[in-house]
Every structure is written in structure tokens, then in C-alpha cells.
Structure 1
Amino acid sequence: MRIGLLGTGPWARTVHAPALSGHGDLRFTGVWGRRPDAAKDLAERHGVRAYDDVDTLLADVDAVAVALPPQVQADLAVRAARAGCHLLLDKPLAATVPQGRAVVEAVREAGVASVVFFTTRFQPGPAAWIREQAGREGWFTARAQWLGAVFTGDSPFAASPWRREKGALWDVGPHALSVLLPVLGDVRGVAAAAHGPGDTVHVVLDHAGGASSTLTLSLTAPPAAAEVAVELRGEAGVAVLPESPEGAVPAFGRAADALLAAARAGLPHPCDAAFGLRVTEILAAAERLLSRGTD
């Protein structure tokens, strides 16, 4: 499968491009970016073509991987799907629910495969844990903490305009939801949402399975306090999400494997664009509650 990369930022340079160029079943074909000089540099580093025109790249490939801000990703994903390209997307799927719906509709109409890269879902240990807990009944409550130090440490993502605007809810909130939804069921409602220090938010969810969950999300945690933790409590006792020793590159390679499998079989992946849309809907509902609290 010939695949192109849309985007040239830190995530594209450190994760997408290395994973695509090292993948045995993909032919990394080229790079397009909003900054032509950056696209040329990244393409040269991996021995592929830099494209000045995105439509030319779409015509030359079977699939695209997207490493762009959500509002840009959504528009280009629609364009790529209509060009017949399978989609390997990043979270969040879109910046608004209408944008997300447009992506899902374009995927459906074009009959292309889609996978949204929720890192935890493509790491072997955490993925196996999620499957195991999803097979158990009687969960009572869950607690998810995704505390990052993006804005307080030396992260290359600190200057990201969309992260500055949307904050932890939209950046790490999708990760938390990607773990909780397959275990506890869909969200029937966002019961509460409140602001904390910096961009920190606290969200309470009511799940279709009868359990409730609380999310604490931040990109402004002190570096010494940064952590990812998910704890489930119920009839089976207490279950804690295991840490993964590997980084994002191998996980992204598995997401590419999932896209290949979905394209070949013609069957949707659990982390497809429709799942990405559902995550977007829940984030938007939480955002509305947060906005009311500041009126």
C-alpha cells in the first residue's frame, strides 16, 4: 500500500515518518505540509518525495497518514477520502462535531478504511488489559488521570496553537475515553465538568453499562506530578491499567497494520472514524458544560 504523510510538525517527524518508512508492508511515498521547506526537509530525511500540492499526493497514494491540527485534519480527511484514500488519522478526529460527522460521511460514501491513532489502544499490554476488562461485568466506577507537563516542561508540543486553544480536554481527553468506552460502555451523559489549575479539567461521566467515571486531565501538571493512571472498581475488584514500556513509534506501526487489515477485509476497526466522532461528541458536551461554568 502506497501511503503519504500530511504534516511536518514534531509528531510527524518523531512518530509518523519513522514508523511509515520502517514499515515492511507500506511504501512511504511522499510528504505534504503547510510549510514547503519543512516538507522538503522531512522528505529528504526519509528518501521520499516532497509534494507542493496535496491533491497531487492524494492521486499518487492509496492511503494517507495525517499529523495536523484537528480542524485541518478533518477538512483534509474528507478531501482524501473523496480521492479514494484510506485514512490513518490522529486524535482528536476533529475540532467540532460537524467536522467529525463530515469525515465519517466521506469515509462511508467513499468506502475507504479509517483508523484513528489512540496510542494506548495500539500498545500490547494496555490493549490486552482493555480487552480483558471489557469482558468482565459489574464495573461500579472508574478513575482516569492523564496528567501531562506539556506546558510546564520542555515539550516540543508546548508551542502548538491548537493545544493552547483546546487544552487537555481535547488533547489527552481522547486517550482517557479510548480506554474507558470499550470497558464501561458508551457515555449516556456528561454529568459534570469543572476547571482546575491551568488547563486542567475534571469531568464526570455516566456510562451505558451503569458505571460512572471521573476524568482529571491536564497539560499543565508539575513535571514531578505527571502520570497516566486508570483504575476500575467493581464486582471483580480493582483493576489498574498497566504501563507500557514502548514509545509511540511501534504503536503507530500497529495502527498502520490495523488500517491495512481493515482495507483488505472491508470491515471497520474499533478505532475507526465513527469511534473518533463519538469521542468528539463527548468532548464537545464536556466543553459546553465548562463554558457554562465560566459565563
Structure 2
Amino acid sequence: MLGTLVQQAVNALTIGSIYALIALGYTMVYGVLRMINFAHGEMFMLGAYAAFLALTLMAGDAQTAGGVVLMIAFTAAVVTVGGVGVVLERLAYKPLRNSTRLAPMLSSLGASLALVAGMQILAGPQPVAFPSLFPSIPYDVLGGTVTSVQIGILVAAFVLMIGLWALVNRSRMGVIIRAVSESRQTARLLGINVDLAISMVFFAGALLGAAGGILYASYYGIMSPTMGAAVGLKAFTAAILGGIGSVPGAMLGAYILAFIEVAGTALLPILTGGLVGTEYRDVLAFAILILVLLVRPAGILGEPVSEESMVYKREF
């Protein structure tokens, strides 16, 4: 029993870490621009394809690439997709920055569809096998099996999340980003390069999303042009659950959602005598999300929005 709990907990932590990387991209963009970037799930997909392309170019066969090649491919892929995020913001969102909130949201939906269709044309619609970034070595922990792949994903995800925390809270760029998130107009009057700060947000968000896509494809051993749709929706749900706009909230929501999914997968068939299978785990997760939002609409760690705060935040 203890071994099963340990194994399921590690499974949840692994999936939650991937969700957290993607959710952070949603929450950073919303925190600065107050918009939902629905094309962010495609950054997740592009990360996997960019890494696969880099591996193929450097090693010839992505399945036989060595550790150094894997690390170089990972770095090149996330930086490249980060650049794609910046270009996307300049082309699809910046011209609509002073319009209604609905316009950039619709633009992001169009960008999402265009990226999926483009990848289907370039790489084909069929799923593709993806190599593991880490050697698969099983370890016995308190009777449960934990693999080196899970450990590698957890370490990589935590390093990236700590890097984001340091960027936001311990760097000059972080101060600039937080100032722009408070008021773009005031930040511009103070001489802050608002466009640079927004570009940095999109770069960091797309980079984290791409890293999540690579880790996800490595964990499950497969990638496809539409892989960002379902996982991106779950990460968006995690960001709302934790409190969109809050970096700690995005991470907390991601892990809560992952634990709900894993617990649902393990317990639903047992509790219902096989009547309800594991395919209903997403229903359970979204049902709990609805309950949380009914009690606390701002999310677990989100700040409640009042009339006074809306007036204070408004751009004049």
C-alpha cells in the first residue's frame, strides 16, 4: 500500500511539474497584459518538434542521440521557441494592445490554429516517437517504483521554475516586469522600455512552455501537432485554479490538478466497482475546479478583485 502511494505521488509530481511549466506562461502573460494567450499551448508543441529537429540534425537519428547532444538540442529548442513567442507577440498582439481585450484573445486563437495547421503541413498529422532525455533506470523507494526519467523531469522542471523565480524577484528585469504589470503608462513615464519587458515575458513564457513540451514528449515517448490543445487547456485550468496572475498560484494549481488526475485514475474504478473508468479523471478535475471557483472566483492564491482595485489598476 505504501509503495503504491509513493509511486502515485511521484507520478503526480512529475505530471504536475510539466503542467506548472506551461501554466506559468499563461499566468505571466495575464499578469502583465491582462490577456489570455491561447496560442501558448502551441509553444508546448513547438518545443517538442524543435528539439526533435535539432536532435535529427545533430545526431542523424534522434533515438540514438547522446547526453551532450540531448542537452544542446534541449537548449536550442527552448531558446528558439522563446524567440517564436516574441515574434508572435510583435505580429499578432502588439498591434492590438490598445484595443478591447477581446481582440488579442481572438488573435491568439487564430495564431493557435495557424501554428497547428502549419505543423501538420510541415511534419504531417501523424504522431511521432520521441526519444527519452534520460536513461530509464527503475529504483525501489519504500516499495514503489520510481524511474530515473521521473527524477530527471522533476529536477529539470524545478531548475527552470527556480530560474523564473530568480528572474522575477531577484533581477533588474524582474523589477521592470513587475512595474509594467502594475501600470504600463506609469512605467513608460518613468522611462521603462515597456515593449522590452513585454517581449521578455513572452520569451520566458514560451521558453517554459517549450521545455514542458519536451519533457512531456520525453516522458510519454510521443508527440503530435495537436498535443498542445489538451495539455494546454489543463495548464490553463491549473493557472485559474491557483489564481491566474500569481506565479506561486500557477505552480500550486498545477500540482493540485495533477494529484486530482492521478488519484482519479487510481481510485475511480475501485470506488465505482469498474462502472466509472479512468477516462473520467478529467471530468473529476474540472468539476473540482468549478467548485473552487464557486467558492473563490479569484483562485486559491489570486487576489480578490474589488471596484476600488479596478479603478486603481485602470490605465488612463
* TM bucket, shorter chain: under 0.3
TM-score, length basis structure 2 = 0.22
Point out the structure with max Rg over C-alpha.
Answer: 2
TM-score, length basis structure 1 = 0.24
Greater strand proportion: 1
Greater helix proportion: 2
Larger RCO (CA under 8 A, 6+ residues apart): 2
